[in-house]
Amino acid sequence: MKYNVGYLFDLITVITEKELKVRYKSSFLGYLWSIANPLLFAMIYYFIFKLVMRVQIPNYTVFLITGLFPWQWFASSANNSLFSFIANAQIIKKTVFPRSVIPFSNVLMEFLHFLCTIPVIVVFLYIYDMRPAISWLWGIPLIGFGQMMLTYGLALMLSTLNLFFRDLERFISLGIMLMFYCTPILYSVDLIPEAYRWIIGSNPLSLMITSWRELFMHGTINYITVGHIYLSALVMMIAGIWVFNKLKFRFAEIL
């Protein structure tokens, strides 16, 4: 069954609005909760790494939040995707629509939260006598769309597989924690011994975080690195769509 672009746009909008209303129902602070978590961890990591361990990284607070905010978008999308089909079981069973928009709406919602953190980054830039660059105008959409593709491909795969392998939830939580420490969020690439830097080059999340940090802190864009992000995103998208198409016909019997 084919769906036109207008229908898909309206459907994504409705589902995203529903997810936002459910999350912030009876919440006084609203979207501020989406930045409270990474800011709290930024404070903790700043205390441990800058004040206690005395890591020699200039403007370490800005360094931290420019890595933590994009990471929060990715990690929250991956975690939430595990339950996206399960949480919408009644809609899936009673309505005919492209199921793949459900995990996409989750990724989109977390992207909106990420956009809400950009003003916080701007405030910290001014505190540290730094300024936003004009390259943000095309750099944020460029890197953001690459991360959207990468995250959606993974979210589509995880949301599908979790219907059939419920133990996946625990493995993914551990995997995301491991990836966090294998990604240069708390430390810079320069601190990694030369023998292990190949890990950074082969980790698309490292390339992603590095690209955001270079954009926000220095206003620079490494288009070769961004190209590698898009290549990884395309592979993840293909894998996610393949898994989804293989298993989507069994959704009704599982749900």
State the Cα–Cα distance between residues 49 and 54, nearest whole angstrom: 6
State the Cα–Cα distance between residues 16 and 141, nearest whole angstrom: 20
Give the pLDDT confidence score for residue 24 in this predicted structure.
Answer: 60
CA torsion angle for 93, 96, 101, 102 (degrees, to 10)? -20
Number of neighbouring beta carbons within 10 Å of residue 81: 27
What is the per-residue pLDDT across 210-249, written as a single tens digit (0 to 9) for each? Answer: 999 999 999 999 999 999 999 999 999 999 999 998 888 8
* CB 62, CB 128: distance < 8 Å: yes
State the helix-helix crossing angle for 60-81 and 168-181, rounded to 10 degrees.
160
State the Cα–Cα distance between residues 97 and 12, nearest whole angstrom: 11
Structure tokens of 207? 């390339």
Site of tokens 């980054």: 121
State the Cα–Cα distance between residues 190 and 197, nearest whole angstrom: 9
What is the per-residue pLDDT across 155-207, written as a single tens digit (0 to 9) for each? Answer: 999 998 988 887 788 888 888 988 998 899 988 888 888 887 787 777 889 99
Residue 48 has pLDDT above 80, yes or no: no
* CB 113, CB 34: distance < 8 Å: yes
pLDDT band at 22 (very low <50, low <70, confident <90, very high): low
Query: Among residues 40, 211, 24, 233, which one has the least CA distance to residue 113?
Result: 24
Assessment of whether the complete model's pTM goes beyond 0.85: yes
* CB 74, CB 209: distance < 8 Å: no
Please state, rounded to an integer, the average pLDDT across all residues of the chain. Answer: 84
Lowest mean pLDDT of 32-36, 53-57, 182-186, 191-195, name the range.
32-36
Lowest mean pLDDT of 26-35, 58-67, 102-111, 121-130, name the range.
26-35
